[in-house]
Structure 1
Amino acid sequence: MLTMREGLHVLGSDDLEDFLALTNRDPVVNCFADYRARTTRLDPRWLGGEVWGRYAEGRLRAACHLGANLVPIEASDEDARAFAERAVRRPRSVSTLVGPRAAVAAFWEVASQTWSPPRDERWNQPHLELTGEPLVEPDPLVRRTTKADMDVLYPAAVAMYTEEVGVSPERGGSSALYRARVTQLVNRGWSFARIDDGRVVFKAEVACVSPAAAQIQGVYVPEDRRGEGLATRGMAAVARLVVPALAPGLSLYVNDWNEPARRAYEACGFTQTATFATLMF
């Protein structure tokens, strides 16, 4: 929609249509932004933050989600630097800067002059998609979890998070909040696992859902069970359970150095469509 706006503005519910048109330029890569917009209608009360939009010639050309996660959306280098110039005028509140690598790099070029260094930088994270049938037979023992699984599921979730992020989700007395998050995913039907003899040997979750894709997170196999193909067949099972019930395809992003995970996803049928970067503070 053509408007009289120019420059950078905080978006609201009246901008939802324009924002969704923006995310639809690359709907799978923008799954998180699309999901957040549809579930909050860009209302700051529900966002727990703000979404900024950058206009040129009266049209929305780029956006930036600013909450616990800061995510540039369809942002050129120029757009990302403009968002950073605004972001550094306030104390840093975000814990993660994540998105397409070029936009994250351009944002950080500006923000690094003011914000403290991140505790971890991951500059090469292949963004993967699975749109057709998985290439391997699904593991028939992978299923949606239930509340009855929480006693074995929660420790696996903590172990995965700690290994992946480098800090425990229970630090600072946050165990109740993290347990609530895991419970929420279970209640939504977004948590999947294979449980052998009272122990989780594979798990994965849906992080967010848009009309284009379901983004997968939290993929985990305990160290002593790795190399058995549990992740490959487990992800195939997740695909069968999620597509088309929740979305027409799956997406995720993975650290470039995690060769076993990358091999598992490739064997399942995932292909790379973009490159992400993540800075954690």
Structure 2
Amino acid sequence: MLSRVAPWLASRNETAADGISVRVLGAADTRALRVLAMEDPVANVFILAHLDSSGSAAPTSGGASVFGVFDGDALVGACWAGANLVPVRLDPELASRVAAAAHRAGRRYASIFGPAETVLALHSRLEQLGHFAHEVRADQPLLAISGPPAVEANPQLGFGNIADFDRILPACAAMFEEEVGYSPFLGSEDFYSRRVAGLIRQGHSLVHIDAGGTVKFKAELGAVTAQATQVQGVWMNPEFRGQGLSAGYMAGVVVLAQQFAPITSLYVNEYNTRARATYERVGFQRLGTFATVLY
């Protein structure tokens, strides 16, 4: 009935002639979404971490939701739609239908990230609908390690403390600006500051601050489940680059991350040969390929 009254709603259930339909998931779909995501708990750590924290596939109070793709009654793919689009076991051939639903929702998306084929298929359709990218990073090796790192961990790396927030925040902002090309404080400093403070309070901020109060290295666990963690925001203070410190710090990241889950993962730009060499030295192995589209 709702779809007849308001056919423009993103939550309406459209069923194509082939039996494929797309709709916003609700609380009743939580188990099906978790089962789908658990088919690859490393690639899908983002959505699994969300389900662990929220307990539900239903839309959030902030307006984020999950589009589900159904073949009859079976959930065969999904896509998180919040500030970013994050596909979950979504066949690239079905991506155009999710992109159309995401477009109708009327949101602006900062990025798409996830398995490369699907991300690029989503981007292709969204571009046709008027969403133009600032940058497309089409080849980002997805790496993971389980077990001890292959090099000695730097024991000076530890968990961030909220008392050091004023030191950690500028380091995080510097990393962000290096990575995406603009300041995370554009528009408002509040959102990014709360994000960094939240990671510190969760114990997901990893940092080495020397005796003089300088942040030498930092990283975050951007997503954490009982199966895997995903490392983000890896940053070495420029004053200490080129001294052979990166591998020891990354080994430290692995040791600390394994307090949460047995598998530590990350994805890296293909052209970042120095970082890739460091990760290989530590013991990370390639599992697949991600892509990121920045809007």
Matched residue of 1:88: which SS? Answer: helix
Q: How far is 1:269 from its partner?
A: 0.8
Q: Which position in structure 2 is the counterpart of 1:9? A: 23
- For 1:10 and 1:263, the matched residues in 2 are separated by 41
Listed as ranges, the gaps of 5+ residues in structure 1 are none
- Alpha-carbon shift at residue 232 of structure 1 (Å): 1.3
Whichever residue aligns with residue 106 of structure 2, its letter is P
1:204-263 superposed Cα distances (whole Å, 9 cap, x missing partner): 1111112220111110002231122322111111211221x2111111111111111111
**Offset, 1:150:** 1.6
Aligned twin of 1:58: 73
Q: Give 1:78 shift.
A: 1.7
Secondary structure of 1:52 counterpart: strand
1:259 corresponds to:
273
The SS at the match of 1:91 is: coil
Opposite residue 134 of structure 2, the aligned amino acid is R
Equivalent residues of 2:123, 2:293 under 8 A apart: no
Counterpart for residue 16 of structure 2: none
Q: Is the 8 A contact 2:78 2:89 kept in 1?
A: yes
148, 154, 157: which one pairs with 2:172?
157
Matching residue of 1:280: 294
The residue that corresponds to 1:20 in the other structure is 34
* TM-fit CA distance, 1:99: 1.1
Q: Is the 8 A contact 2:220 2:233 kept in 1?
A: yes
| Whole-angstrom distance in 1 between the partners of 2:153 and 2:223 | 22
Map 1:78-93 → 2, pairs under 5 A: 78-93=93-108
Whether the 8 Å contact between 1:202 and 1:230 is mirrored in structure 2 is no
Asked if the contact 2:67–2:80 (Cα under 8 Å) also holds between the matched residues in 1, the reply is yes
Which is worse superposed, 231-240 or 63-72? 231-240
**What's the offset of the Cα at 1:47?**
6.0
- Deviates further, 223-232 or 213-222: 223-232
SS at match of 2:142: strand
How many residues align? The count is 275
Partner in structure 1 of residue 85 of structure 2: 70
Per the normalisation by structure 1, the TM-score is 0.93
Residues 200-211 of structure 1 correspond to what in structure 2 (within 5 A)?
200-211=215-226
The whole-number CA distance in structure 1 between the counterparts of 2:198 and 2:30 is 26
Q: Work out whether residues 36 and 47 of structure 1, in 8 Å CA contact, stay in contact via their aligned partners in 2.
A: no
Q: CA deviation at 1:92?
A: 4.1
- The answer for unaligned runs of 5 or more in structure 2 is 1-18
Residue 152 (structure 2) aligned to one of 137, 144, 147: 137
| 2:30/2:58 contact within 8 Å kept | no
**One-letter amino acid of the counterpart of residue 182, structure 2:** V
Alignment partner of 1:182: what SS? helix
Deviation at 1:6, TM superposition (A): 5.3
Describe the shift of the 1:46–1:213 C-alpha distance in structure 2 as closer, same or farther (beyond 3 A): farther
Distance of 2:286 and 2:243 partners within structure 1 = 24
Superposed counterparts of 1:211-230, under 5 Å: 211-230=226-245
Contact between 1:192 and 1:205, CA under 8 Å: does it hold in 2?
A: yes
Paired position in structure 2 for 1:167 = 182
In structure 2, the residue matched to 1:269 is: 283
8 Å CA contact 1:92, 1:115 repeated in 2: no
